Amino acid sequence: MLVLAHMKFRVSADKVTIFTYFLIIISIGSLLLSLPAAWSGLGSITYLDAIFTSTSAVCVTGLIVVDTALFSAFGKTVIMLLIQLGGLGIVAFATIYVAAPRRKVSLLNRGIIKEMYIDEVESNPVNIIRHIVLTTIAIEFLGFLIIRSRFKAAGIPQYNFAAAFHAVSAFCNAGFSTFSDSLESFAGDWRINLAFIGLIVSGGLGFVVLQDIGRVFMRTKRRFSYHTRIVVSVSAVLILAGAACFYALERGGAFSSMSIPERLLASLFQSVTTRTAGFDTVAQSAFGFPAMLLAVFLMFTGGSPGSTAGGVKTTTIFMAFAAAFKGHEDDGSIMYKGGALSSIIISKAFSIIVKAVIIITASLLLVLCLEGDGASFPDLFFEVVSAFGTVGLSRGATAGLGGASKVVIIMTMFIGRVGLFAMAITKSSDRIERFADYPRENLLLG
């Protein structure tokens, strides 16, 4: 009994450590953002708005209750650092945690990292840290160079800082912008749009996938892993199908004033940004209800495991669809393109989806109750899913929420970024060895 109690304590302690890291960063960020030196707008920023902004930055969400452009250079720098710390996120933090000097890497701690790195974590955690840092710096710097040239040509004040801020925000899928209208002024700029799309997609694929792609292109590996093939395939289908649907739905609506090439570009950007990026080249309030529902599905799906993106992840949605439309083997597994998806991982995918739906439903009901009869259900539904998926897109409802509703959104952002992952962690140490099985029962379905 003592052994079991000790094992349970260790599991809880590791999860608490992950929560504590993010809570500490959010708290420090909120204190810095509440300082007079961080604000250049009229009056002063309230502490609730400061902690909302800090949580949104650390959870790489991008939802705002005050215009980011109203922060001073110091405040914007704090936000950029918070985005970077949050963007590297659970994967980098957990890896650093288990690979810290003079700390033994236990099987328990390896289990946390293995959730995001599959089997590659068993090699050398220090190399994983180096890969994460170097990959992040390289991609963000490349994005900075492209964005800087366009901002300079457009006459943007302090274009160097603005380019660095947006490169970090885009790769980390944060969606924060130093411009009050996000990227709406650059709706027809192909180079800006493609640069942001490249940063967003690379940040949302996951570090394992980026590493795998790099190895294949460097010819140190013959072919992509099964995980990479699934992630890239699902991501491509979601982006292209999403873009086609947005074009069809809004060519006479939000995109009606654009030329055909501009509509194609805006549709592609909208399909990419709804997968947890949070930037927009067209105001979200301009989209009709069908396009809004499509955006909600993409926000709920999010990016891929081990990435800077949020949502329930592409692989989770893939396994749910595979389970729904493909036949099961005798052991409950599903065969797909030369691989067998075990019944355990399929069950876990459905568990994540159910938990996500419960969290979104509870948050939405709370906000609806707190906001009263004047609340717009579609807009609040959009905002809550955006918060949970750490997307940051808004139809304008978040800024007008009351204090209690802002607290609910803060909690939703935190759970969407950190909580769902922590709840999804399962390790052998969580399970109590049974010496007798319960009798097998059947339930009627359908």
Determine the average pLDDT of the residues in 118-136.
66
Q: Residue 3 — very low, low, confident or very high, per pLDDT cuts 50/70/90?
A: very low
Nearest to 386 by CA among 243, 284, 269: 284
- Give the pLDDT score at 152: 95
d(CA 95, CA 129): 7
Which two structure tokens, joined as six digits, stand for 253?
A: 């609506």
**Higher-confidence position of 52 and 340:** 52
Question: Would you say residue 159 lies in a domain?
Answer: yes
- Give the pLDDT score at 8: 44
Determine the average pLDDT of the residues in 4-19.
54
Q: Residue 434 — very low, low, confident or very high, per pLDDT cuts 50/70/90?
A: low
Given a cut of 50, is residue 99 above it in pLDDT?
no
Given a cut of 80, is residue 102 above it in pLDDT?
no
Taking only the tens place, the pLDDT of each residue in 241-262 is 999 999 999 999 999 999 999 9
**Higher-confidence position of 158 and 4:** 158
Question: Would you say residue 288 lies in a domain?
Answer: yes
Burial string for 301-340 (b: 16+ CB within 10 Å, else e) reads: bbbbbbbbbbbbbbbbbbbbebbeeeeeeeeebbeeeeee
Given a cut of 90, is residue 293 above it in pLDDT?
yes
Question: Would you say residue 194 lies in a domain?
Answer: yes
**Higher-confidence position of 344 and 186:** 186
Given a cut of 70, is residue 445 above it in pLDDT?
no
Question: Would you say residue 438 lies in a domain?
Answer: no
Torsion of CA 312, 316, 320, 323, to 10 degrees: -170
Nearest to 143 by CA among 29, 264, 277: 277
Residues 6+ apart with CB under 8 A from 124: none
- Give the pLDDT score at 15: 67
Question: Contact 211/131 with Cβ under 8 angstroms?
Answer: yes
Residue given tokens 């944060």 in the structure block? 174
- Give the pLDDT score at 22: 87
Question: Would you say residue 81 lies in a domain?
Answer: yes
Report the mean per-residue pLDDT for the chain.
83
Which two structure tokens, joined as six digits, stand for 263?
A: 């509509």
- Give the pLDDT score at 19: 80
**Higher-confidence position of 289 and 424:** 289
Given a cut of 90, is residue 433 above it in pLDDT?
no
Question: Would you say residue 385 lies in a domain?
Answer: yes
Given a cut of 80, is residue 435 above it in pLDDT?
no
User: Helix axis angle, 289-301 relative to 226-250, nearest 10°?
Assistant: 170
- Give the pLDDT score at 227: 86
Determine the average pLDDT of the residues in 2-25.
61
Question: Would you say residue 443 lies in a domain?
Answer: no
Q: Residue 444 — very low, low, confident or very high, per pLDDT cuts 50/70/90?
A: low
Question: Contact 409/383 with Cβ under 8 angstroms?
Answer: yes
d(CA 90, CA 83): 13
Q: Residue 165 — very low, low, confident or very high, per pLDDT cuts 50/70/90?
A: very high
Given a cut of 80, is residue 236 above it in pLDDT?
yes
Question: Would you say residue 434 lies in a domain?
Answer: no
Q: Residue 422 — very low, low, confident or very high, per pLDDT cuts 50/70/90?
A: low
The amino acid at residue 280 is D
- Give the pLDDT score at 10: 45
- Give the pLDDT score at 310: 84
Cα separation of the two ends of the chain: 42
Taking only the tens place, the pLDDT of each residue in 347-372 is 888 988 999 999 999 999 999 999 98
Comparing 159-163, 322-326, 336-340, which segment has the lowest mean pLDDT? 336-340
The amino acid at residue 78 is V
3-state secondary structure the chain: CHHHHHHHHHHHHHHHHHHHHHHHHHHHHHHHHCCHHHECCCCCCCHHHHHHHHHHHHCCCCCCCCCHHHECHHHHHHHHHHHHHHHHHHHHHHHHHHHCCCCCCCHHHHHHHHHHHCCHHHCCHHHHHHHHHHHHHHHHHHHHHHHHHHHHHCCCCCHHHHHHHHHHHHHCCCCCCCCCCCCHHHCCCHHHHHHHHHHHHHHHHCHHHHHHHHHHHCCCCCCCCHHHHHHHHHHHHHHHHHHHHHHHHHCCCCCCCCCHHHHHHHHHHHHHHCCCCCCCCCCHHHCCHHHHHHHHHHHHHCCCCCCCCCCCCHHHHHHHHHHHHCCCCCCCCEEECCEEECHHHHHHHHHHHHHHHHHHHHHHHHHHHHHCCCCCHHHHHHHHHHHHCCCCCCCCCHHHCCHHHHHHHHHHHHHHHHHHHHHHCCCHHHCCCCCCCCCCCCCCCC
Taking only the tens place, the pLDDT of each residue in 197-221 is 999 999 888 888 888 888 888 888 7
pTM: 0.87
d(CA 398, CA 405): 9
Taking only the tens place, the pLDDT of each residue in 368-418 is 999 988 778 999 999 999 999 989 899 988 888 999 999 999 999 998 887
Determine the average pLDDT of the residues in 128-139.
83
Q: What is the CA radius of gyration of the chain?
A: 22
Q: How many domains does the chain have?
A: 1
What are the angstrom distances between the C-alpha of 197 and each of 149, 201, 349, 415?
16, 6, 27, 26
Query: Which residue segment(s) compose the domain that 51 sits in?
Result: 2-428
Given a cut of 90, is residue 71 above it in pLDDT?
yes
Residues 6+ apart with CB under 8 A from 62: 56, 169, 174, 175, 176, 277, 278, 279, 390, 391, 392, 393
